[in-house]
Amino acid sequence: MLQRFEDFRPYLHRFRDDCGVDRDIPKDASPEDIRRVAIVNLIPSVSEQRKFAALLDEMAAFDVITGKLQRDNITVAAVRDIFDIVLDDYDGMEKYLAADAIIIEYPLFESDLAKIQVGLDKTLQRNEKKALSRLLVTSQADSQTTPSTATIMLSKRKRAADVLDEKISKKVLKCSGPQS
- State the pLDDT at residue 138: 59
Contacts of residue 102, defined as CB under 8 A and 6 or more positions apart, other chains included, come to: 96
Residues contacting 171, CB < 8 A, separation 6+: 81, 84, 85
Q: What does residue 29 show for φ and ψ, rounded to 5 degrees? A: -70, 145
Q: Which of 91, 113, 1, 100 is nearest to 55 (CA)?
A: 1
Write out the chain's pLDDT in tens, 180 residues: 667 777 777 777 676 666 666 667 777 888 777 776 667 777 788 888 889 888 888 888 888 888 998 988 887 778 888 888 888 888 888 888 877 777 777 777 777 777 777 777 778 788 777 777 766 565 555 445 544 434 444 466 677 777 777 887 777 677 665 554
pLDDT score, position 123: 80
Which bin fits 104, alpha (ψ -120 to 50), beta or left (φ > 0)? Answer: beta
